[in-house]
């Protein structure tokens, strides 16, 4: 009996040991599986955290790039950036008088709060230029003149061009130098390129008489009524109107004057049809514009043709405009590029001035007349003071390129022009002067860095 009981005890002990030894692997397996699960969850959490951090950094970089790429260094071909100007411009909150018209423009969402202005010089439709279109067709197309520059024009809120010639409806009346009459399709091409402000107070404004002015106004009103046309008017009543635009909560008033009219016709033109540079009228206009707008821009057709600096009359008018409160003055007429700077008088008033933007398009034969410029200005309002501030102002050199054999007439930025294009330019058939990429850069550098004595 005792032996049987002892044998039975050993069997029970053996079963117990086998039972315990069988459960150990299961426990180990469960612990291993639990450990793997914890590790996977930890790795997944780490991946989520890293992804969130990466996305956050990318968003920050995108936001920063909007600011940093607003004026990339590579967009300036030569020393074309002026030192930051910080004029305090009064922001009068005054209802506009009856003799004003305001155009609202849509700005680039990426530039919220920033007013972007560009301006180019003389659009001169010489015979070779207007004959570059297929004139066998009913409609003459000139979009190719500006195809290389429209990417710089279209993003701007206000883009102005000085249309040197009046526009005529009948192709039979189209003519070149010395009495210009450009086809209306030239106006279409300017609008297609992105311009929305056209200045027309020039020395050639009366080349086609009163009819030329009225036809130009009729064309703009019928074909492109949204365009702001400055410097010419159908009558004296219309001349009293000061054109304004509203961009980013900033009201801009714009004026346009010419200091000369070919043939001494200024006294024969019906009163009010052309904004002639009469000092008394200019003072009154600027004061009125100052009372109704945050920013006053004056376009001035002045200076001496082919001169590399402003003349005495231009300097005197600029001092007067500064005194009366103009914020920006953009000049044309010399057909060559001159510099730009911020003027300041003894009272602390400031005015950004571009002395001459040269030609935008032409077929002139002097190499220096084939180098023009584009004013590029950005303005914002200080949230604390309410005053306006010029964030940046540039003068970007442009080149008029033409090739007789290929019937090419067009405009390039100098920093996008090539030595090969310069070598193919037909100016080499007209002039023995150097015309190379390096000579153009040297001319641009000299013009932009020039210093003028206004006092």
User: What pLDDT digit, counting tens, does each position of 387-405 carry?
Assistant: 999 999 999 999 999 999 9
Cβ contact 241:101 at 8 Å: yes
Q: How confident is the model at residue 111 (pLDDT cuts 50, 70, 90)?
A: low
Where b means 16+ CB within 10 Å and e means fewer, 20-31 reads eeeeeeeeeeee
- pLDDT at residue 78 in the model: 32
Q: How confident is the model at residue 112 (pLDDT cuts 50, 70, 90)?
A: confident
Q: How confident is the model at residue 31 (pLDDT cuts 50, 70, 90)?
A: low
Q: What is the DSSP letter of 427?
A: G
The mean pLDDT value of the chain amounts to 84
- pLDDT at residue 38 in the model: 55
Q: What's the CA gap between 150 and 226, in Å, rounded?
A: 18
What tens digit of pLDDT does each residue of 198-253 get? 999 999 999 999 999 999 999 999 999 999 999 999 999 999 999 999 999 999 99
- pLDDT at residue 161 in the model: 98
Contacts of residue 229, Cβ cutoff 8 Å, sequence gap at least 6: 198, 200, 216, 217, 220, 243
Q: How confident is the model at residue 55 (pLDDT cuts 50, 70, 90)?
A: very low
pLDDT of 418 > 70? The answer is: yes
Which among 158, 154, 85 has a CA at the least distance from the CA of 115? 158
Sign, CA dihedral 306-188-119-283, equals: positive
Cβ contact 293:247 at 8 Å: no
């Amino acid at each position: 009996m005792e032996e049987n009981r002892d044998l039975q005890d050993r069997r029970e002990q053996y079963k117990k040991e086998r039972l315990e030894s069988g459960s150990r692997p299961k426990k180990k397996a469960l612990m291993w599986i639990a450990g793997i699960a914890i590790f996977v969850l930890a790795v997944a959490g780490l991946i989520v955290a890293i992804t969130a951090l990466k996305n956050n950094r990318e968003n920050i970089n995108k936001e920063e790039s909007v600011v940093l790429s607003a004026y990339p260094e590579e967009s300036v071909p030569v020393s074309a950036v002026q030192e930051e100007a910080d004029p305090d411009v009064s922001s009068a909150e005054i209802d506009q008088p009856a003799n004003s018209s305001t155009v609202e423009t849509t700005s680039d969402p990426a530039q919220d709060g920033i007013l972007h202005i560009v301006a180019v010089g003389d659009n001169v439709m010489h015979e070779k230029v207007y004959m570059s279109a297929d004139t066998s067709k009913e409609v003459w197309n000139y979009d190719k003149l500006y195809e290389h520059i429209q990417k710089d024009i279209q993003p701007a809120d206000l883009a102005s061009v000085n249309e040197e010639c009046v526009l005529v409806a009948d192709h039979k009346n189209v003519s070149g130098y010395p009495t210009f009459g450009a086809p209306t399709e030239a106006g279409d091409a300017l609008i297609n390129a992105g311009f929305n402000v056209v200045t027309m107070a020039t020395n050639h404004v009366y080349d086609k008489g009163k009819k030329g002015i009225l036809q130009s106004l009729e064309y703009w009103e019928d074909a492109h009524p949204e365009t702001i046309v400055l410097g010419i008017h159908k009558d004296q009543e219309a001349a009293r109107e000061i054109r304004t635009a509203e961009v980013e909560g900033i009201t801009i008033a714009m004026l346009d004057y010419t200091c000369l009219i070919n043939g001494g016709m200024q006294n024969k033109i019906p009163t009010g049809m052309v904004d002639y540079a009469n000092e008394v009228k200019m003072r009154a206009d600027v004061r009125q514009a100052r009372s109704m707008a945050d920013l006053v821009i004056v376009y001035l057709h002045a200076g001496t043709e082919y001169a590399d600096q402003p003349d005495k009359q231009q300097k005197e008018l600029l001092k007067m405009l500064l005194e009366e409160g103009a914020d920006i003055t953009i000049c044309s007429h010399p057909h060559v590029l001159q510099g730009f700077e911020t003027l300041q008088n003894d009272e602390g008033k400031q005015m950004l001035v571009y002395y001459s933007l040269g030609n935008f398009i032409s077929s002139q034969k002097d190499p220096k007349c084939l180098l023009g410029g584009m004013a590029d200005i950005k303005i914002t309002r200080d949230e604390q003071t309410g005053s306006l501030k010029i964030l940046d102002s540039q003068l970007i050199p442009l080149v008029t390129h033409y090739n007789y054999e290929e019937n090419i007439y067009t405009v390039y930025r100098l920093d996008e022009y090539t030595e090969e294009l310069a070598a193919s330019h037909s100016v080499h058939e007209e002039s023995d002067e150097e015309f190379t990429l390096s000579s153009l850069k040297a001319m641009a550098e000299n013009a932009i860095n020039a210093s003028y004595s206004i006092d």
